[in-house]
Structure 1
């Protein structure tokens, strides 16, 4: 079984430190840190201020960064990187018709997600007009244990992968329902592995529920997860699972020979 998001093995002779540092600088900008000084970037990336400033100025020259001379922030051109993946990778294009099938069968927003190291990344989505704003945007990155898709992937990977993954996580609550006890989370992942599907309720946002199944290709390699995210409203867990899970499972089986 493949290891999603693990990164390829690299001979030391082929490693380009400058490229790694440039990409690490791009990754330090997020919702909590939208604008940073060169000194702040240096501290977050573990490099000198001089080196950070040179990388930032180079990225600004290439159009990937904007600056007022003191603060730096990502420029719209950075979207080209993510769009290039969505347009060139086979998986987002292959799953799209099947996401429409899930939405037609459930009336809910459907997603395909993959694991990228410690986070789940949503690479495709479909939705109804009724819940058009429900769930995640394309490219959204979320710590894996907070989502049904992430739990489905971690469960399918097995304890040899999920236990070390869990060990290195720093768990913080996003809602009053968020699980931050690693022993409880380890049991949840094991339970997901045993039954072959995952459910997540109010872990990232109050009154929202996710249900997911792992997604495999025709060679039994784990690719990611197929999921639905929806408002909980007054629907019980049992009713939601009965309504959503068979559609996800049937769709994942139908996709398998095509991936």
Structure 2
């Protein structure tokens, strides 16, 4: 089991920001010695989970079997997908549902209308929580001290000139989410991308996931965009509350 745990740490070293790693780079990210990392990577390559060009490793589509198989067994994606499809058609924008995993969000369902981000998002995709609307909704649902500790423990890169990275400003943003019941992010993940998210809650009032729409930035103010998109999001949230409870 120790070997399995180390192999999983090596797999988790590959992210959107680090899709191509040398042995030494993977070793540093995974926190393992070089020899152990090399054995893990070569084993993953032997079984088709990594490609190796003699210097760099990249994960192959085969690794998706690990995540999509797990997601397929979860009831939430199957429940929300029809609602995402209908909402996406109604507002003409992509919609998603995500859950929180430490300091990242994990997409569990998505209905894409157009490509707004430079990367393709799909179930299993991950993004940092601190700069995403769904991430802020999910972090805001945590006790304030827990949310602060997760932010302090994670890298907070300045992804765009508009990205908030200061802990105090992020905590203020989370407090605003708690007060208003939704989160807006304006070009903090990528320039040209805006998003609005609302929490999906269960009968006990606990946030179990977040629902959002992402749309291109334009000359329209964020307030006008909220007028167009927030009510449809809240309607689907209410329908999901009824179904899930």
Q: Quickly say closer, same or farther: Cα 1:207–1:52, change in 2 above 3 A.
A: closer
Whether 1:25 and 2:10 are equivalent positions in the alignment is: yes
Pairing of 1:246-257 with structure 2 (within 5 A): 246-257=231-242
Equivalent in the alignment of 1:133: 115
**2:163 maps to which of 178, 187, 203:** 178
**Distance verdict in 2 for CA 1:170–1:72, change over 3 Å:** closer
- 1:191 Cα shift? 0.7
What's the CA shift for 1:76? 2.4
Supply the distance in 2 between the matched residues of 1:205 and 1:107 (Cα, whole angstroms): 20
Cα deviation, 1:99-152, whole Å, max 9, x if unaligned, reads 123223322211111111111112211133xxx213551122111011111111
Q: Which structure 1 residue ranges, 5 or more long, are not aligned?
A: 1-15
Bigger mean CA deviation after superposition, 35-44 or 243-252 = 35-44
3-state SS of paired residue (1:157): coil
1:121 aligns with 2:103: no
How many residue pairs align between the two structures?
A: 241
Instruction: Specify the alignment match of 2:219 in structure 1.
Output: 234
Residue 224 of structure 1 is matched in structure 2 by 209
Distance of aligned partners of 1:220 and 1:43 in 2 relative to their CA distance in 1, 3 Å threshold: same
Moved over 6 A (4+): none
Superposed, which structure 2 residues align to 1:136-155 within 5 Å? Answer: 137-138=121-122, 139-155=124-140
Q: Structure 1 residues 23, 254: CA separation in 2 closer, same or farther (over 3 Å shift)?
A: same
| RMSD over equivalenced CA pairs, Å | 1.9
Query: CA contact under 8 A between 2:103 and 2:151: conserved in structure 1?
Result: no
Q: Distance in 1 between matches of 2:89 and 2:56?
A: 46
TM-score scaled by length of structure 1: 0.86
- Would the alpha carbon gap of residues 151 and 39 (structure 1) be closer, same or farther in structure 2, given more than 3 Å must change? closer
- 1:191-241, Cα deviation, whole Å (9 max, x unpaired): 111111110101011122110100113443321101010012121111111
2:51 alignment partner, SS class: strand
User: CA distance change for structure 1 residues 169 and 52 in 2, over 3 Å: closer, same or farther?
Assistant: closer
- Counterpart CA distance in 2 for 1:115 and 1:183 is 21
Q: Which residue of 2 aligns with 1:164?
A: 149
Cα separation, 1, equivalents of 2:109 and 2:206? 19
Aligned equivalents of 1:102, 1:188: Cα separation in 2: 26
The answer for unaligned runs of 5 or more in structure 2 is none
Which residue does 1:11 correspond to in 2?
none
